[in-house]
Amino acid sequence: LLRCRGLRKEFAGQVVLDRLDLTVDEHRVVALIGASGSGKSTLLRCVNLLEEVDDGTIELDGEDISDPRVDADRVRRRIGMVFQAYNLFPHLSVLDNITLAPRRVHRRARAEAEAQARDLLDRVGLGAKAHAFPDGLSGGQQQRVAIVRALANSPRLMLLDEVTSALDPELVGEVLTMIRDLKADGMTMVLATHEMGFAREVADEVCFLDAGRVVESGPPEQVLGEPTQARTRQFLRRII
Ligand code: ATP
Ligand code: MG
């Protein structure tokens, strides 16, 4: 579904992605781990065309989306992205937050978009919050609404960047449950996380990034349990 080849990205002469390769098959969940500054967010932002790569190619469904002639909005309609925090528009209700893109970008009728949004909200237990505003929701509820909003575009691929790290510990669980359910539904996901326990549980594959390169990747038991690379062992020792 997603194939990144030889990605290179520099910020002011600093190499942030260094000939990075990543392949994600359909229905698979890939967790990106690595120290702060290793390039996880930059990689996700490049895939969603929020950053331009300096070299390399990104293929989504066989189409080279890193080609500068590609219509970025059209690509982003097929990708759902959720960030660490500040995801929702504060001046819009939950329902309007979710239906904004389907109505504007996909040109769906309001009634149809709202019916779909309500269905998604019901499924995550937030049906009663359709008319609430973001500041009337807990952090965990806001983050679940942000995920619902990304799902409302029926994406082929979800990119999740540290979606639980701004949450109080007691709110993390409800967001993780939602991601687990998405996986059970067969959603293809790439998620950056500092939570090794979650990576181990939900990911089919873990990629350890160091200085913009994939140093080691494989099943979670292997990368987290029996890493072959010294850099991976060093990283895991430091965070445990
Ligand atoms: P964290 O775990 O802290 O989220 P990360 O792995 O997501 O880290 P990135 O955010 O991808 O790391 O950052 C990689 C490097 O790129 C860092 O050195 C960062 O300072 C730099 N960087 C990221 N975005 C920009 C930008 N817009 N301008 C300049 N430098 C940037
Ligand atoms: Mg990051």
Alpha-carbon 160 to chain mean position: 2
Mutate to test the pocket of ligand 1, among 41, 43, 239 (most ligand atoms within 8 A of CB): 41
Mean pLDDT over 112-132 rounds to 93
pLDDT at 193: 94
Mean pLDDT over 191-208 rounds to 94
Q: How far away, in angstroms, is 44 Cα from ligand 2 center?
A: 9
pLDDT at 160: 96
Per-residue confidence at 214, pLDDT binned at 50, 70, 90? very high
Q: Which atom of ligand 1 is nearest to the CA of 12?
A: 29
Mutate to test the pocket of ligand 1, among 10, 36, 44, 190 (most ligand atoms within 8 A of CB): 36
Whether pLDDT at 118 is above 90: yes
Q: What is the pLDDT of residues 166-182, one digit of tens each?
A: 888 888 888 899 999 99
Q: Which residue bears the tokens 């990576």?
A: 199
Q: Interface pTM (ipTM) of the complex?
A: 0.96
pLDDT at 109: 86
CA distances from 14 to 35, 39, 61, 163, 213 (A): 16, 11, 31, 26, 14
Q: How far away, in angstroms, is 212 Cα from ligand 1 center?
A: 10
Percent of the chain with pLDDT over 70: 99
Mean pLDDT over 110-133 rounds to 92
Q: How far away, in angstroms, is 23 Cα from ligand 2 center?
A: 20
Per-residue confidence at 107, pLDDT binned at 50, 70, 90? confident
Residue nearest to atom 19 of ligand 1 (CA): 37
Whether pLDDT at 226 is above 80: yes
The β-bridge partners of 63 are 60
Residue nearest to atom 31 of ligand 1 (CA): 11
Mean of all residue pLDDT scores within the chain: 93
Q: Which residues line ligand 1 (CB under 6 A)?
A: 11, 16, 34, 36-42, 192
Q: How far away, in angstroms, is 32 Cα from ligand 2 center?
A: 10
Q: Which atom of ligand 1 is nearest to the CA of 51?
A: 27
Q: How far away, in angstroms, is 36 Cα from ligand 2 center?
A: 7
pLDDT at 6: 96
Residue nearest to atom 2 of ligand 1 (CA): 36
The region of weakest confidence among 49-58, 97-106, 109-118 is 97-106
CA distances from 205 to 82, 163, 199 (A): 20, 18, 9
Q: What is the dihedral sign for C-alpha 65, 68, 71, 76?
A: positive
Whether pLDDT at 106 is above 80: no
Whether pLDDT at 42 is above 80: yes
Per-residue confidence at 240, pLDDT binned at 50, 70, 90? low
